[in-house]
Amino acid sequence: MADVLVCFDGSDGATHAIAAASRILVTRSALVLTVAEPPDPWELSDPGAVLSATVSKLASNRLGLEEIARQQALSINQQGVDLARAAGFTATGNVVTGKVADCICREAEQTGADVVAMGTRGRSRVQVAVLGSVSAAVIAHAQRPVLVIAPTKEQDGRAVEQDDRAEDRDDRPPEQDD
């Protein structure tokens, strides 16, 4: 059992989260989780796509898209394990397939992790409203503490740009969610 479940998708935010979690958390045992979202060439909410779902699914399987996604996830996961070890964690890795937030919550439950650590992409509230937020979903559904690490200003160009504008106006930048 790992004390902390570290979510890693290869992004700058996830990389930053590993380093920050190693400084914040006392624990030294980590499971680095990467979720391979299956390529989904059709959406059930689109009536036209439902009719072509079988053909699309067959094409996806024939092209080997699921295997390509899994191989990419394995490579990303190994990067995360290497980063976690460099940050001082005793780390192992795991790759699962499915909807990201669901997989993170399920893995945290199955492994008995004490805490889930994850980064964010630094999206604005509008972007979160349109695109959704994995960290918000994990916070809402995980049955354990979730440590969400925001990107640094260097990693989030918008934050740097907003800080520059705020200095000119002498006020604070707007709050940012995931």
Helix H, strand E, coil C: the string for the chain is CCCEEEECCCCHHHHHHHHHHHHHCCCCEEEEEEEECCCCCCCCCCHHHHHHHHHHHHHHHHHCHHHHHHHHHHHHHHHHHHHHHHCCCEEEEEEEECCHHHHHHHHHHHHCCCEEEEECCCCCHHHHHHHCCHHHHHHHHCCCCEEEECCCCCCCHHHHHHHHHHHHHCCCCCCCCC
pLDDT of residue 62: 55
User: In the chain, what are the domains?
Assistant: 4-151 (3.40.50.620)
- pLDDT tens digits in sequence order for the chain, 178 residues long: 679 999 999 999 999 999 999 999 987 899 999 999 876 654 444 555 545 555 555 555 556 778 888 899 999 999 999 999 999 999 999 999 999 999 999 999 999 999 999 998 776 677 666 666 899 899 999 999 999 998 877 655 443 333 333 334 344 444 555 4
What is the model's pLDDT at position 158? 43
Nearest to 9 by CA among 90, 105, 93: 93
How high is the pLDDT of residue 15? 93
pTM above 0.75, yes or no: no
